[in-house]
Structure 1
Amino acid sequence: MDTLLILLGLLLILAGYVWLVSQAFGRSLFWGIASLAPPLALAFILRHWAQARRAVVFVALGCIPLVVGLALLAAHDSARLEAILRLDWLRSEPVVKPELAIRLRGELNGKPFEPEQADLIDGVLSLREGQDFYAHREVQIRLPAAVQGPLRLDVLPDDSGTLPDVEISWLAPGQDLPEAVRLARGYSLHLDLQPEAPNRMVGAFHLVLPASMQTTLSGQIELYTDRLRYRDGQVDTHVDSQDTLLYVVRDYLQRRFAQHDIELAPLPRLDTRRPTLQVQVVFSIAGEPQTLSLTLVKSVPRGWGVRGDKYPRLADNPPPVPAPPPAQPVEAEAGQPSAAPEVGVLSLQRLQAAPEHFANRHMRVQTEQGRTADGVFVGLDGDGRLVIRHSLSGAGEASYVLRPSEVVGIELLAH
Structure 2
Amino acid sequence: MEALLILGGLLLILAGAVWLISLAFSTSLLWGLGSLLPPLTLAFVFSHWRVARKALILSCLGFIPLIVGLSLLASRDAERLEAIFSLRWLPTQVEPDLAMGVRGELNGRRFAPQQGELINGVLNLREGKGFFARQEVTIRLRDPIEGALRIDVLPDDIGALPEVEIAWLNPDQELPETRRLDRGYTLHLDLQPVAPNKLRGDFHLVLPPQFDTSITGGIELYTDRLRYLNGQVDRRHDSRDTLAFVIEDYLQRRHASRDVALQSAPVVTFPAEELEVEVQAQVKGEMQAFTLPLAKNEQGWHVRGDDYPPLTEPAVETPVTTTKAAEPVAATVPQSSLDRRLRFSMEQVLRTPDRYQHLLMRAHTERGGVAEGRFAGLDSEGNLIIRRVISGPGEATYNLAPGEIVLLELVDP
Q: Pick the TM interval, shorter chain.
A: 0.5 to 0.7
Q: What's the counterpart of residue 309 of structure 1?
A: 306
Confirm or deny: 8 A CA contact 2:295 2:303 kept in the other structure: yes
Q: CA deviation at 1:271?
A: 2.2
Q: CA deviation at 1:254?
A: 1.2
Q: Aligned pair in 2 of structure 1 residues 237, 189: CA closer, same or farther (>3 Å)?
A: same
| Matched AA of 1:250 | E
For structure 2, the residue ranges without an aligned partner over 5 or more in a row are 1-29, 34-90, 320-328, 330-413
| Matched AA of 2:291 | S
Q: What's the counterpart of residue 228 of structure 2?
A: 230
Q: CA deviation at 1:235?
A: 0.9
Query: TM-score w.r.t. structure 2 length?
Result: 0.53
Query: How do 1:16-415 residues align onto structure 2 when only pairs under 5 Å count?
Result: 96-299=94-297, 301-315=298-312, 317-320=313-316
Q: CA deviation at 1:96?
A: 4.9
Q: Distance in 2 between matches of 1:158 and 1:239?
A: 43
Deviating 4+ runs (over 6 angstroms): none
Confirm or deny: 8 A CA contact 2:186 2:207 kept in the other structure: yes
Q: Distance in 1 between matches of 2:148 and 2:97?
A: 21
Q: CA deviation at 1:95?
A: 6.6
Q: Distance in 1 between matches of 2:171 and 2:230?
A: 40
Q: Distance in 2 between matches of 1:96 and 1:140?
A: 25
| Matched AA of 1:115 | P
SS at match of 1:305: strand
Q: CA deviation at 1:322?
A: 9.0
Q: Distance in 2 between matches of 1:177 and 1:272?
A: 21
> Matched residue pairs, number?
232
Q: Aligned pair in 2 of structure 1 residues 272, 130: CA closer, same or farther (>3 Å)?
A: closer
SS at match of 1:250: helix
Q: CA deviation at 1:294?
A: 1.1
Larger Rg: 1
CA deviation vs aligned residue, 1:135-154 (integer Å, no higher than 9, x gap): 01000000111111111111
Q: Aligned pair in 2 of structure 1 residues 231, 172: CA closer, same or farther (>3 Å)?
A: same
Confirm or deny: 8 A CA contact 2:117 2:123 kept in the other structure: yes
Q: Distance in 1 between matches of 2:92 and 2:253?
A: 41
Q: Aligned pair in 2 of structure 1 residues 321, 259: CA closer, same or farther (>3 Å)?
A: farther
CA deviation vs aligned residue, 1:152-191 (integer Å, no higher than 9, x gap): 1111111111111000001112111110000111111010
| Matched AA of 2:310 | R
CA deviation vs aligned residue, 1:246-304 (integer Å, no higher than 9, x gap): 010011111111222312110341123332211222111232112222111112x2211
Q: Distance in 1 between matches of 2:159 and 2:314?
A: 47
Q: Distance in 1 between matches of 2:256 and 2:192?
A: 33
Q: CA deviation at 1:319?
A: 2.6
Q: Distance in 2 between matches of 1:170 and 1:126?
A: 13
SS at match of 1:319: coil
| Matched AA of 1:319 | A
Q: Distance in 1 between matches of 2:97 and 2:311?
A: 30
Q: Distance in 1 between matches of 2:308 and 2:274?
A: 20
Q: Distance in 2 between matches of 1:308 and 1:321?
A: 35
Q: CA deviation at 1:99?
A: 1.5
SS at match of 2:224: coil
Q: Aligned pair in 2 of structure 1 residues 158, 259: CA closer, same or farther (>3 Å)?
A: same
Q: Percent identity?
A: 54
Confirm or deny: 8 A CA contact 2:151 2:188 kept in the other structure: yes
Q: Distance in 2 between matches of 1:257 and 1:296?
A: 18
| Matched AA of 1:320 | V
